[in-house]
Structure 1
Amino acid sequence: MSEYDKVRPGKLVLKGEKQKGKKRKHKHKKQEDVPKIDQDAIEHGNWWKATKFDDLNGAVAIEFGKHTYVRALDNGLFTLGAPHDEGDGPAPEEILTAVPINERQLALKSGYNKYLRVEKDGKVTGRSDAIGAMEQWEPVFQEGKLALQGSNECFLSLDDDDNVVADDKKASEKNMVQIRSQTTKEVNPMKDVPVEEQGSLAQIEVNYIKKFQKFQDKRMRINPNDKKELDKAKVDGTLHETLLDRRSKMKADRYCK
């Protein structure tokens, strides 16, 4: 299995008894101050369960049942691996790479650097060097469950010999899987901030000018007054009004007469 050499695979807070005397004030500690622990991920070697399409990027493992994962074989076929102990993650041969293609579909690459596809007989193989129509998969999330649909519009499952196939037109309980990831979840602090309000105050003013200026002579008109008033306006919560006032003095804003 030398090919797999390339695969890159706080203290627990418990609710205590009621405190007496001076320590009673701790009873009112906010619930959100207690760190949330993903017990399910801990039981799977810190591989957390994907619950939406955006979670599927990078190293993943497909779990059937509990602690058993799809395993790549050196002949290009896939089977169900041996059960793992609680607390252990998938083995290197059970780690795939998810490659998003669009907002609904992705490709899956094995540790042998081959893409997964469904053959005419329904068997899942990993022998493709590139992503084509046959190498596209669609994760279907519904009511907390997940099924993986292949290019033949059939869902991933196991046959009687635990070989991985995709030959069911309708998804039932045997088609339900968990796709687990170890990729760090990134939190974007600017996710809920409008594009126009990202950057320095000077850049924010330029952003709004570009958005609202009429540009009749194709020249950008920026108010030359001291930008310190923008700092004060941001503190006072009147930034938008101040920006509008600065644009109106230049008589170039489409909403100012």
Structure 2
Amino acid sequence: MELSRRLAVMAIVNRTPDSFYDRGATFALDAAVAAGLAAVEEGAAMVDVGGVKFAPGEPVPVDVEIARVVPVVRALAPAIAVSVDTFRHEVARAAIEAGASIVNDTTGLGDPRMAEVIAEGGASVVIAHSLAEPRTQHPRPQYDDVVAEVAGFLVERRERALAHGIAPERIILDPGHDLNKNTRHSLELTRRLGELTGLGAPVLVAVSNKDFVGETLDRERGDRLPGSLAAAVYCVLQGARIVRAHNVRETVEAMRMVEAILGWREPAFLLHNTRPEGNADAHA
């Protein structure tokens, strides 16, 4: 995907009963597929399908996770690029075989076999920064310099991906907003994101409806869209190229507007103050 003059939106489809945002609204197979197809219509460039959330909770067997994500991947792959949100190489392998072209790994290749599986399958990878084992509670996060430490982690994991044969153009980096970070950490990552967009790979940001937005603005999960869009726009102006989002239509339109402001995209039409003299636009 050419991203030098394009901002891509990755739509989120959680096939989980306990997702932090939609609380299981797309857990049923037909609902998950419908949400993915709706995202296509709304302008998403890719759909991220998850079967297990990263946050602490009861273990989910590998075969259950595969059964959740593979049918959705298979249904959506003919229509759009599909990412699978997983930290297990077995799930990544099954999803790639079903048509997934991206593996979104919130542990940044923490599974020792993940990079090998992605390389063998010819998929792209999103390497996210986190510290904890998935589904476990991490002690209160402490950083001397959160941006520098996240950068070091991402550079090391990118080298791991390259060493296992993943092509450099197939590597995407994600600073991991809110993943084992408090609100001040996530705000600092956002403020200094430009220090991460020069690490040698496109940067994805997952800021949609996150707790750092809610805590900053004192807003519950269903009322964080304005803050999420503000954070996303701030990030892309510092070089991020992919925005992972729950509210697809609104995020796509925000990104199209930024592209037009930057001169990367022409307006959909021109009418305002362009009519011949004597037939002026009433809204002048």
Q: Same fold by TM-score, threshold 0.5 exceeded?
A: no
The TM-score, its normalising length taken from structure 1, stands at 0.20
For the pair shown, which has the larger CA radius of gyration, 1 or 2? Answer: 1
Higher strand share: 1
Which structure features the higher share of helix residues? 2
Higher relative contact order (CA 8 A, sep 6+): 2
Q: TM-score, normalised by structure 2?
A: 0.19
